[in-house]
């Protein structure tokens, strides 16, 4: 036989009574018809009813009209099966105001009732504020997700291992444009290459990076893409129970990419137009200087002959030189010649100023390639461009250096752009060696005969009409610019199958080497 259930002592009854009376949770006991038999003070506080106002009345007096009937049906279905029910429903206070009740109802079977009767223990607390905060959090989450989804900027959230754990449709569009699985990885690598130590410092100290512009080439050709990239960090606190008193956190990186390709192309077009104007003006001035210098040279000889003839005639006639018609004619011719030479000298455009500041040859060559894109495409020339990843600056004038390489690349294009010439390739590279910055230009044209390799640097010598209207200038302009920058321009005499030109300039020692991304 089962052991008899011990009868609670008076002390135990008192403890249970005080525990229920002093509980912060609303407690009520009803009979099987939901008639209220007992409520504790917390019940009165939450509902606003006094105990004598609810005892003997049905529990339904707390029901609020908007609670669906299905909720109550589910509740009674569980109770009728002898099971507890826990859930939320909407209750009504005495003043008519609704509140969200977190309710648990449990069937009670007492030994006195046997199987014929049941009481119910109801416990609930006011969850209105928790419900409001939960809904507010869900609304904010939905709002943020909606904004991110329709935002024109690409968003990617990376965990501590660099894995993308959240993104948006704009990010997927960029992945298709860049033809990479994860654009975020390419961006992070480009930021590291571009910023160097600054990037590591930002990562170490969790400092945000804002609006850093990056340029990306599309694999297989196509338009270059520009993105303004921002990077920030935030911490997620652990939701695990064992971290309740701890400080467990997970770091995330939020990467935002804004496609600025359209505006950058517009800026680039304006900049190229300005560069073309500057280069054309430089070429025109150089052409005028060469033409005027040639004219002065041509006049100087006859004027010198006239001057010598005038002096000879003056010695011949002696004191009668003033009255001698030939002496006067020679003197007038000499004066007119000297005046013409002075006029030509005054009309000569001034020489360019001395080199003014640090210049990166990678940027100069990239500009020239953009300027010559149409000529390269029309001639069917492929370009193999290998810029040095890190290249010191040189002291110089950017406009003059662009003009220099435009002349050299233009000559290479014209050398290969001849009827029947099949192999058309241009190889460009930069490097730094022993305090010098070098640029190499190699074409697959017919090459330059050995007997002309020095003559082509002479003024007015050219194997073809010069480009840009500077007829007769040849490579003298290029040599002049190189000399002004204390550089060296030389041919590789051992190269076959085309022409290899090497240009070198002293590196700027006062400038720290700057990282230059491949273009």
Residue-wise DSSP of 289-334: HHHHHHHHHHHHHHHHHHHHHHHHHHHHHGGGGGT-HHHHHHHHHH
The CATH number linked to 247 is: 3.30.450.20
Give CA–CA dist 57/519, Å, rounded.
83
Question: Residue 354 carries which DSSP code?
Answer: P
Specify whether 482 is located in the same domain as 439. yes
Query: What is the per-residue pLDDT across 267-301, written as a single tens digit (0 to 9) for each?
Result: 878 877 877 777 677 667 767 776 777 788 788 88
Choosing from 304, 328, 347, the residue where a domain stops is 347
Specify whether 400 is located in the same domain as 369. yes
- For 381, the token pair is 């020339």
pLDDT for res 99? 95
Specify whether 166 is located in the same domain as 43. no
Specify whether 325 is located in the same domain as 425. no
Range picked from 74-83, 210-219, 315-324 for highest mean pLDDT:
74-83
3-state SS, residue 86: strand
Residue 398 has pLDDT above 80, yes or no: yes
Residue 2 has pLDDT above 70, yes or no: no
170-174, 233-237, 458-462, range with the lowest pLDDT: 458-462
The CATH number linked to 495 is: 3.30.565.10
Instruction: Give how many domains the chain has, as a whole number.
Output: 4
3-state SS, residue 353: coil
pLDDT for res 321? 62
Specify whether 233 is located in the same domain as 119. no
Indicate whether 3 belongs to any domain. no
* Confidence grade of residue 503 (pLDDT, cut at 50, 70, 90): very high
Indicate whether 324 belongs to any domain. yes
Long-range contacts of the stretch 310-314 (C-beta < 8 A, 24+) = 310/334
Specify whether 367 is located in the same domain as 504. yes
Specify whether 440 is located in the same domain as 395. yes
Domain span at residue 18 reads 10-132
Mean pLDDT of 348-369: 79
pLDDT for res 48? 95
Question: How many Cβ atoms from other residues are within 10 Å of residue 209's Cβ?
Answer: 16
Specify whether 252 is located in the same domain as 169. yes
Indicate whether 142 belongs to any domain. no
Specify whether 163 is located in the same domain as 121. no
Choosing from 347, 382, 408, the residue where a domain stops is 347
- For 38, the token pair is 């007992």
Choosing from 83, 104, 132, the residue where a domain stops is 132
Mean pLDDT of 459-464: 55
Mean pLDDT of 327-346: 82
Specify whether 286 is located in the same domain as 173. no
Specify whether 234 is located in the same domain as 288. no
Give CA–CA dist 211/233, Å, rounded.
15
Specify whether 128 is located in the same domain as 157. no
């Amino acid at each position: 036989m089962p052991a008899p259930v011990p009868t609670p002592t008076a002390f135990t009854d008192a403890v249970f009574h005080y525990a229920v009376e002093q509980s912060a949770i609303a407690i009520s006991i009803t009979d099987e018809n939901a008639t209220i038999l007992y409520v504790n003070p917390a019940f009165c506080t939450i509902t606003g009813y006094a105990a004598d106002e609810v005892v003997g009345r049905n529990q339904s007096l707390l029901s609020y009209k908007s609670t669906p009937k299905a909720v109550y049906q589910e509740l009674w279905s569980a109770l009728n099966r002898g099971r507890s029910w826990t859930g939320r429903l909407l209750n009504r206070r005495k003043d008519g105001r609704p509140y969200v009740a977190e309710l648990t109802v449990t069937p009670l079977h007492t030994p006195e009732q046997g199987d014929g009767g049941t009481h119910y223990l109801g416990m609930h607390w006011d969850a209105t504020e928790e419900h409001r905060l939960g809904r507010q959090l869900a609304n904010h989450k939905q709002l943020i997700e909606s904004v991110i989804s329709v935002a024109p900027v690409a968003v990617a959230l990376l965990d501590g291992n660099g894995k993308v754990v959240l993104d948006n449709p704009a990010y997927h569009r960029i992945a298709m444009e860049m033809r990479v699985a994860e654009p975020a990885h390419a961006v992070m690598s480009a930021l590291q290459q571009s910023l160097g130590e600054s990037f590591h410092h930002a990562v170490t100290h969790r400092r945000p990076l804002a609006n850093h512009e990056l340029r990306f080439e599309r694999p297989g050709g196509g338009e270059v893409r520009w993105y303004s990239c921002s990077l920030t960090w935030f911490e997620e606190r652990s939701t695990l129970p064992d971290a309740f008193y701890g400080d467990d956190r997970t770091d995330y990186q939020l990467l935002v990419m804004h496609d600025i390709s359209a505006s950058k192309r517009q800026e680039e077009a304006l900049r190229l137009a300005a560069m073309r104007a500057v280069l054309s003006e430089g070429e025109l001035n150089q052409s005028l200087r060469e033409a005027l210098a040639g004219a002065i040279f041509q006049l100087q000889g006859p004027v010198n002959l006239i001057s010598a003839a005038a002096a000879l005639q003056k010695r011949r006639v002696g004191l009668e030189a003033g009255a001698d018609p030939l002496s006067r004619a020679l003197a007038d011719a000499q004066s007119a010649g000297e005046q013409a030479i002075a006029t030509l000298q005054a009309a000569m455009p001034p020489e360019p100023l001395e080199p003014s500041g640090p210049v990166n040859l990678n940027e100069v060559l990239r500009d020239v390639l953009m300027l010559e894109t149409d000529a390269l495409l029309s001639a069917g020339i492929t370009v193999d461009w290998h810029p040095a990843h890190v290249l010191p600056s040189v002291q110089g004038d950017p406009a003059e250096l662009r003009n220099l390489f435009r002349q050299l690349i233009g000559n290479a294009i014209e050398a290969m752009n001849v009827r029947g010439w099949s192999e058309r390739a241009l190889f460009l590279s930069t490097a730094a060696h022993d305090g010098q910055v070098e640029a190499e230009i190699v074409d697959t044209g017919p090459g330059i005969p050995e007997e002309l390799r020095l003559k082509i640097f002479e003024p007015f010598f050219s194997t073809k009409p010069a480009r840009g209207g500077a007829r007769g200038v040849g490579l003298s302009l290029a040599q002049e610019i190189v000399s002004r920058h204390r550089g060296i321009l030389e041919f590789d005499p051992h190269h076959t199958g085309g022409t290899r030109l090497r240009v070198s300039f002293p590196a700027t020692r006062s400038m720290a080497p700057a990282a230059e991304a491949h273009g």
